[in-house]
């Protein structure tokens, strides 16, 4: 029907077909009034045919003004080209798809409720987004877990590496190289000396090409750091100093010297975090983590890990300092116990001592050389069980007894060992020791002969001028300290000009997992190869060759050359 009630000019059968359509349809005249709407169209809009025909579309549906529907209708009317749109109509809470075409009868619009399809699409999109979000969350969790794993491994590595370091400088250098690049792009570790001075010892950079620049800055940092710089501040307060975004003003406040700032410039620091090293209530150093511009600020996880690392490193560093002090004390004690040997006329004596590389650098091995009242020379080498301070203390007692008893009277080496054994037991010295006592006797014709006896000690070797090597075997008595009452035997051999007597402890040739005979065979071969060397060079060569893999036990070595 038209607005005045006259029928729509068309065939009656066509009208019946349109009115019977399931798909909604309406026709708008040139004035935007409903010229026709089929029952399905009125029903989906929540109206009646009679209530809409002849009415203005924008008056009846003002919410559509400015919407995609209005834009579609006006565009089709202006161009004559058909079009379509899909829009949400809020008053009906419905998504509509509208198709419009311009005809002689007016603007014909067909439309459908597509809310179900749109909701299904939205649900699918939401499901995809949820899956993507879950995958992203899982990936992020995996990254965090991997980072946490790296940080845990780092803390374990710090414990292991620093606790096994030989000295303070090695320990802090290991710390610097461990935290880079896990926690920072580069790192400087400072230690405070007992006199209060500070040294930047540990240094590491992720970029090998920037290592030289880092060293130039580190060399100048201690003397140019302002009191407000992170390291001095952290050393005073005992607390971390974190600067997430380093500015030019920060650098100027930190580094007072223009030359030092110039050295720092190529490193392009953008973030700094300094952590004190506090052990047993004392600030003994600090380590500084620095990031370049690409890496940016330190994360919360990195800062937390660095704080834990600082506590563990401080304890390990303090232990290294104490170990260094103990080693220094031990070495001084060892040197005081191992006094320089005499140098008798007509003989050349050389001694060497190497402590075990593990533990305290002191042990029970010893050597000695002194003159007896008749002018002959006694050389001694021995080994008290163990290589710690207790063994060294026992060694001092045993060495003193051997020296005193051998000097007390002119006596064969076997007799000296017997009396020392009895004295150790009688005086209650709680130790056992092997020993080799050699008496270098003048033969009255300008030559020398060797008289020797052993208490459980490895046999010495005699290197002839022609390169022959002889094992000076002797009936070996039991070690000292057990009170053995049996006979001890001496042996005598002439010392030819150019020959060299070698006394040594078992640490020189014994190795775990290797046969003793194999060790002595190797030693014998090396001695023969060194026949033309001076005794100092011969001793050094033996130590270098035989101890190249590290010292497993204390080693004492004594050489006597007959010119």
Q: d(Cα 256, Cα 247) in Å, to the nearest integer?
A: 15
Question: pLDDT per position in the chain (563 positions), as tens?
Answer: 444 444 544 445 445 556 657 889 999 999 999 999 999 999 999 999 999 999 999 999 999 999 999 999 999 999 999 999 999 999 999 999 999 999 999 999 999 999 999 999 888 988 888 888 887 877 777 777 677 678 778 878 887 777 776 678 888 899 999 999 999 999 999 999 888 889 988 999 999 999 999 999 999 888 888 899 999 999 999 999 999 999 999 998 888 889 999 999 999 999 999 999 998 889 999 999 999 999 999 999 999 999 998 998 888 888 777 766 666 666 666 666 676 778 887 899 999 988 775 555 567 888 999 998 888 999 999 999 866 677 777 888 899 999 999 998 889 999 999 999 999 999 988 889 999 999 999 877 767 899 999 999 999 999 999 999 999 998 888 999 998 888 899 999 999 999 999 999 998 998 877 787 888 999 999 999 999 899 999 999 999 999 886 666 788 999 999 98
Task: List, by residue range, all CATH 3.60.40.10 domains of the chain.
Answer: 339-561
Task: List, by residue range, all CATH 3.30.450.20 domains of the chain.
Answer: 12-113
Q: d(Cα 269, Cα 290) in Å, to the nearest integer?
A: 6
- Residue 139, judged by CB atoms within 10 A of its CB (0-12, 13-18, 19+), counts as exposed
CATH code, residues 339-561: 3.60.40.10
Task: List, by residue range, all CATH 3.30.450.40 domains of the chain.
Answer: 149-328
Query: What architecture is domain 149-328?
Result: 2-Layer Sandwich (3.30)
Distances, alpha carbon 521 to alpha carbons 151, 506, 512, 526, in Å: 50, 13, 16, 9
12-113 adopts what CATH topology? Beta-Lactamase (3.30.450)
Distances, alpha carbon 319 to alpha carbons 159, 264, 314, 324, in Å: 11, 33, 8, 8
Distances, alpha carbon 203 to alpha carbons 151, 169, 176, 190, in Å: 20, 11, 6, 9
pTM summary value: 0.52
Q: Backbone phi, then psi, for 489, in 5-degree steps?
A: -110, 150
């Amino acid at each position: 029907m038209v607005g005045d009630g006259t029928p729509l000019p068309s065939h009656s059968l066509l009208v019946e077909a349109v009115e019977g359509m399931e798909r909604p349809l309406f026709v708008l005249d040139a004035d935007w009034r409903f010229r026709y709407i089929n029952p399905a169209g009125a029903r989906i809009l929540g109206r009646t045919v009679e209530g809409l025909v002849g009415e203005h579309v924008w008056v009846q549906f003002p919410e559509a003004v400015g919407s995609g529907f209005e834009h579609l209708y006006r565009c089709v009317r202006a161009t004559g080209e058909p079009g379509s749109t899909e829009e949400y109509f809020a008053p009906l809470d419905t998504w509509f798809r509208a198709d419009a075409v311009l005809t002689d009868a007016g603007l014909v619009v067909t439309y459908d409720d597509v809310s179900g399809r749109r909701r299904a699409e939205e649900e699918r999109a939401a499901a995809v987004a949820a899956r993507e979000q879950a995958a992203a969350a899982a990936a992020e969790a995996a990254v965090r877990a991997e980072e946490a794993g790296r940080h845990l491994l780092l803390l374990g590595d710090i414990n292991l590496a620093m606790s096994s370091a030989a000295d303070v400088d090695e320990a802090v250098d290991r710390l610097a190289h461990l935290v880079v690049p896990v926690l920072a792009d580069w790192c400087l570790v400072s230690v405070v000396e007992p006199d209060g001075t500070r040294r930047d010892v540990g240094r590491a950079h992720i970029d090998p090409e920037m290592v030289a620049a880092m060293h130039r800055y580190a060399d100048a940092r201690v003397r140019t750091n302002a009191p407000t710089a992170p390291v001095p501040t952290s050393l005073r307060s005992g607390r971390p100093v974190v600067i997430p975004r380093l500015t030019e003003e920060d650098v100027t406040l930190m580094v007072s010297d223009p030359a030092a700032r110039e050295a720092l410039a190529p490193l392009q620091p953008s973030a700094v975090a300094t952590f004190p090293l506090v052990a047993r209530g004392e600030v003994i150093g600090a380590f500084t983590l620095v990031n370049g511009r690409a890496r940016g600020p330190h994360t919360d996880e990195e800062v937390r890990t660095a704080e834990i690392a600082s506590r563990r490193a401080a304890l390990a560093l303090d232990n290294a300092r104490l170990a260094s002090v103990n080693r220094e004390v031990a070495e001084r004690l060892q040197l005081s116990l191992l006094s320089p040997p005499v140098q008798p006329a007509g003989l050349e004596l050389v001694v060497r001592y190497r402590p075990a590389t593990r533990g305290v650098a002191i042990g029970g091995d010893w050597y000695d050389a002194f003159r007896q009242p008749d002018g002959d020379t006694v050389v001694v080498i021995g080994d008290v069980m163990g290589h710690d301070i207790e063994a060294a203390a026992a060694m001092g007692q045993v060495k003193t007894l051997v020296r005193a008893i051998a000097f007390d009277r002119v006596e064969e080496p076997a007799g000296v060992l017997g009396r020392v054994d009895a004295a150790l037991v009688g005086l209650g010295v709680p130790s056992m020791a092997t020993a080799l006592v050699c008496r270098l006797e003048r033969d009255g014709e300008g030559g020398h002969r060797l008289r020797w006896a052993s208490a459980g000690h490895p046999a010495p070797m005699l290197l002839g001028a022609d390169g022959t090597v002889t094992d000076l075997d002797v009936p070996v008595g039991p070690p000292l300290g057990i009170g053995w009452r049996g006979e001890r035997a001496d042996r005598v051999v002439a010392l030819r000009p150019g020959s060299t007597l070698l006394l040594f402890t078992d640490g020189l040739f014994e190795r775990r997992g290797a046969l003793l005979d194999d060790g002595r065979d190797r030693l014998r071969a090396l001695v023969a190869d060194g026949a033309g060397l001076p005794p100092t060079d011969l001793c050094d060569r033996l130590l270098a060759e035989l101890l190249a893999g590290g010292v497993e036990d204390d080693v004492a070595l004594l050489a006597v050359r007959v010119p």
